[in-house]
Amino acid sequence: MHGNKLESSISTYGRLVLLFFFLSFLGACALSGYDDEEEVYFNPFKGYYKAGITQDELNKYPIYILTKDPPKVMKGCDDKHDALAMHENGFVMIGYSSFNGTRGSVSDAANQAKNVHAEVAIYCSKHTETMSRMRAVSSPDIKFSTSSGQTFGSGTITNSYGDSFNYSGRSSAGGGTTTFGTKTTYVQDRVSRYDFSATYWVKTLPPIFGAFAVSLKPEERRLYQTNKGAKVHITIIGSPAFNADIFRGDIIKKIGNSEVVDGSSYGNAVKENSGRNVKILILRDKELITKDVYIEKLVVGSNIIQ
């Protein structure tokens, strides 16, 4: 039962390692982000997240090392170089975020890394354009109005002695009202937009050998004048392969008595020779060389194939 799960998880690992060849397309696939007018804030690194390994898979298979420490955020925009460096240090990418917008902070990327249990996030922002736009600004609009009037009158007053007096006069009255409202004016400002991206990484258990190799492409078979072998794309630092000076670009032809025909037979050969000292036949610079390597014993829950 454990063997089937482990082999399935290794297949997942292999798929994710190959993803770094496609990371250069992140910018081309960027989605439109939010801009300043949105009233409700959301974390765009969460909203535009694409998982390569699901949270269920991270919890199900024992090859992934999940930490409770705060994630580390590193800045880097050289996708292939950054991915290669992470793989060489024993990390695997579990997903990425990609979008175009006006805001995308490092802290937002760190929060998403925490959400997906990543140990490391690699953050990138690239300026794409600065636009001029008319922006509506509302302000209070208070209006005062006043009114006034006059009353004129005249007449005769007779006192108790029979004397009569004529009079005339006027009176004045005034008032006012206040009206409260708003007014909208339009001002021109400039806003910058960026392509934002982040990749998220977790560490795996140490490999029993430490070289990830794949089948030769048709053009590589002609170049190296061989149809058989698996080409090393990643050597994990500190692994048996690393300590034996097996380099990226080497073509592995044989492990012990197991012939390597392609990527699939390479993985089987590594597994068949776990826990053994073996000679590994390598084609390097059109010359065959031999390396003596001890391939660690495969222990479920302690290490992984390759």
Report residue 110's pLDDT band, with 50, 70 and 90 as the boundaries: very high
Phi-psi sector, 301: left (phi>0), alpha (psi -120 to 50), beta: left
The percent of residues above 90 in pLDDT, for the chain, comes to 60
Residue 24: predicted pLDDT? 41
d(CA 276, CA 278): 6
Same domain, 120 and 248: no
Residue 23: predicted pLDDT? 45
Residue 249: predicted pLDDT? 96
Report residue 54's pLDDT band, with 50, 70 and 90 as the boundaries: very high
All residues at 6 or more sequence positions from 116 whose CB lies less than 8 Å from its CB, including other chains: 49, 51, 55, 94, 95, 200
pLDDT mean over 43-72: 93
Give the gyration radius of the chain's Cα atoms: 38
Residue 170 in domain: no
Name the residue type at position 194. Y
Residue 267: predicted pLDDT? 94
Residue 126 CA from chain centroid, whole number: 13
The per-residue DSSP string of 26-92 comes to: TTTTPEE---TT-SS---HHHHTEEESS-HHHHHH-TTEE---SPPEEEE---HHHHHHHHHHTTEE
Residue 257 CA from chain centroid, whole number: 44
Are residues 212 and 306 in contact, defined by beta-carbon separation less than 8 angstroms?
yes
Instruction: Give the pLDDT confidence of 30-42 residue by residue, as tens digits.
Output: 444 444 444 567 8
| Residue 287 C-beta-side C-alpha neighbours within 13 Å | 4
Same domain, 223 and 237: yes
Strands (E), the chain: 31-32, 49-51, 64-65, 72-75, 91-101, 120-158, 164-204, 211-215, 230-235, 251-255, 258-259, 276-284, 287-295
What average pLDDT does the chain have?
82
Same domain, 48 and 116: yes
Same domain, 200 and 229: no
Q: Which of 53-62, 92-101, 114-123, 129-138 comes out lowest in average pLDDT?
A: 129-138
Same domain, 199 and 222: no
Same domain, 197 and 216: no
d(CA 112, CA 70): 11
Residue 2: predicted pLDDT? 38
Better-predicted residue by pLDDT, 20 or 160: 160
Last residue of a domain, one of 204, 230, 261: 204
Residue 85 in domain: yes
Instruction: Give the pLDDT confidence of 119-146 residue by residue, as tens digits.
Output: 999 999 999 999 877 777 777 877 776 6
Q: Which of 42-56, 128-142, 288-302 comes out lowest in average pLDDT?
A: 128-142
Instruction: Give the pLDDT confidence of 207-264 residue by residue, as tens digits.
Output: 999 999 999 999 999 999 999 999 999 999 999 999 999 999 999 999 999 999 999 9
pLDDT mean over 176-198: 84
Same domain, 195 and 50: yes
| Residue range(s) defining the domain that contains residue 290 | 205-306
Position 278 pLDDT exceeds 60: yes
Same domain, 116 and 253: no
d(CA 251, CA 229): 6
Are residues 22 and 91 in contact, defined by beta-carbon separation less than 8 angstroms?
no
Same domain, 74 and 217: no
Same domain, 200 and 234: no
Are residues 211 and 251 in contact, defined by beta-carbon separation less than 8 angstroms?
no
Q: Domain count of the chain? A: 2
